[in-house]
Amino acid sequence: MNTNVRLKLPFVCFAWQIAMIILFGVFVRYNNESDAHWVQNMAQNNITSAIENDFYYRYPSFQDVHVMIFVGFGFLMTFLKRYSFGGVGFNFLIAAFGIQWALLMQGWFHSLDPSTGKIYIGIENLINADFCVAGCLIAYGAVLGKVSPVQLMVMTLFGVTLYAVEEYIILNLLHAIDAGGSMIIHVFGGYYGLAISWVLYRPNLHQSKHLQGSVYHSDTFAMIGTLFLWMFWPSFNSATTYHGDGQHRAAINTYLCLTSCVLTTVAISSLSQKTGKLDMVHIQNSTLAGGVAMGTAAVFMVSPYGALIVGFCCGILSTMGYLYISPFLEKTLKIHDTCGIHNLHAMPGVIGGIVGAITAATASESVYGMLINTFDFTGNFKDRTVFAQGGYQAAGMCVAMVFGIGGGAIVGAILRFPIWGDPADENCNDDDVYWEVPQDEEDQLESVPPILEYCNYMTNKPEDES
């Protein structure tokens, strides 16, 4: 197979970047709070202090989310022994492209002023763009090591587009709530990736089996990704929730859910081995399932012990997934899932959607004070009951799943065209295909002389010494 991407990759990068510049030129402007006119507007809007700019509510959370996208997802994917460059590097590339395209796609749906035809952006748009890209990076996890960077760019282009549409349907038409994106990000991203991996199934992947799995230091690198995801997930789920108690509660719920998830992950991981040894794959991934599952309900009054219960279940389910469901998916359904996104994102995302639907359906004024604040029952939705809201939440999850599976199948078919420079089966999981890899082998040769001397010594040493 021709894996030379010398013309394809630069062409895609240049073409899409130029398209972005043109579209941004036509459509994108600063919003009210990031425009230099804001100081004058403050006075008109009775804002007395610059600290009321949305920037100060959201920027710390935004930076945490940003770290999750680039360091979290990036380093989590460095675990393969010879695919660390591809893991962190391609993650970097597609995220950088994806957030531009997401600003446009989401902008057209959510931030377009019909009177001027412009998209007005501020810090919240940047967070949402990062969220949108997260869906595509999840999908990358399923095909890690098996696709070319050109395929990843195509996958991201379509992924962001599909995401923006399903997000619009779920948030605006169904008026579901999904602040941390259990459904919109994780269910969609998970099934999108799995469907693509299913279409691109490689029956002879065992030919690169020697490059599957990790080495000691690649597993340690991956823990950097795990921890930054784990630590900053409270910021992820609270980043776009409403000011004040909304952000506050979302952070607390996610924090608690993640802690209990760690304990049950460790428990199941240890139980699953004859000798009780822990498996790094579980620690790196299943400990995060609690953050995924708290995505929809984070802003709800699930109560602290409720959050702990969700994490408890997710740690078990996700680790079980690595032990039993992933092998089943590969053997029976022919879906190879490199990072186990089904266990980390798809299943916990579904749990999150269900938890969200139940919590919404059982909300009451005694618990919430004014339901209108949390559920935004205004405008077209002012007569909606919480019970109906529960139903719409569930409907939202179905939409996410349909978009993921359907979209992934179609995009997978596009990626099968033999024009994208994808690697042969025996070259999978190998950075050497798309990267100039430094010659560590030279080090080995340099270390030979002392070994040789030692050999000679061992061979020729006097008998009495041995």
Binder of its own copies out of 166, 167, 178, 219 (CB under 8 A) = 219
Smallest separation (angstroms) from its own copies to the CB of 309: 6
- Rule CB under 8 A: is residue 207 a binding residue for its own copies? no
Smallest separation (angstroms) from its own copies to the CB of 159: 16
**Which residue pairs, CB below 8 angstroms and at least 24 apart, start in 215-220?**
215/81, 218/78, 218/79, 218/80, 218/81, 218/84, 219/79, 219/280, 219/284
Q: Which two tokens stand for residue 221?
A: 């690198």
Stretch that binds its own copies, among 155-163, 306-314, 327-335, 384-392 (CB under 8 A): 306-314
Select 172 or 378, whichever has its Cβ closest to its own copies.
Answer: 378
Smallest separation (angstroms) from its own copies to the CB of 364: 11
Q: Is 412 helix (H, G, I), strand (E, B) or coil?
A: helix
Binder of its own copies out of 197, 208, 374, 389 (CB under 8 A) = 374
Q: What angle do CA 209, 214, 217 make, to 5 degrees?
A: 150
- Rule CB under 8 A: is residue 212 a binding residue for its own copies? no
Burial class (CB in 10 A: 0-12, 13-18, 19+), 439: exposed
- Rule CB under 8 A: is residue 220 a binding residue for its own copies? yes
Q: Report how far residue 181's alpha carbon sits from residue 298's, in angstroms, rounded to the nearest whole number.
A: 10
Burial class (CB in 10 A: 0-12, 13-18, 19+), 348: buried
- Rule CB under 8 A: is residue 399 a binding residue for its own copies? no
Select 369 or 413, whichever has its Cβ closest to its own copies.
Answer: 369
- Rule CB under 8 A: is residue 301 a binding residue for its own copies? yes
Binder of its own copies out of 213, 334, 416, 419 (CB under 8 A) = 213
Stretch that binds its own copies, among 168-176, 267-275, 339-347, 400-408 (CB under 8 A): 267-275
Smallest separation (angstroms) from its own copies to the CB of 372: 10
DSSP one-letter code for 55:
H
Given a contact cutoff of 8 angstroms between Cβ atoms, the answer to whether 188 and 350 are in contact is: no
Binder of its own copies out of 1, 10, 116, 378 (CB under 8 A) = 10
- Rule CB under 8 A: is residue 333 a binding residue for its own copies? no
Query: How many residues make contact with its own copies (CB under 8 A)?
Result: 152
Read off φ and ψ for residue 299, nearest 5 degrees: -85, -10
Smallest separation (angstroms) from its own copies to the CB of 146: 18
- Rule CB under 8 A: is residue 438 a binding residue for its own copies? yes
Residue at 453: amino acid letter: E
- Rule CB under 8 A: is residue 156 a binding residue for its own copies? no
Rg of the chain in Å (alpha carbons) = 24
Site for its own copies in 132-151 (CB under 8 A): 149
| Residues in Cβ contact with 97 at an 8 Å cutoff, skipping those fewer than 6 apart | 13, 16, 17, 153, 156, 157
Stretch that binds its own copies, among 158-166, 328-336, 411-419, 443-451 (CB under 8 A): 443-451
Can you list the alpha helix ranges (DSSP code H) found in 321-364? Answer: 326-332, 341, 347-361
Binder of its own copies out of 204, 333, 369, 380 (CB under 8 A) = 369
Q: Report how far residue 258's alpha carbon sits from residue 227's, in angstroms, rounded to the nearest whole number.
A: 11
Q: What end-to-end distance do the CA atoms of the chain give, in Å?
A: 54
Q: Report how far residue 3's alpha carbon sits from residue 25's, in angstroms, rounded to the nearest whole number.
A: 35
Binder of its own copies out of 81, 146, 175, 336 (CB under 8 A) = 81
Binder of its own copies out of 151, 197, 235, 237 (CB under 8 A) = 235
Smallest separation (angstroms) from its own copies to the CB of 73: 11
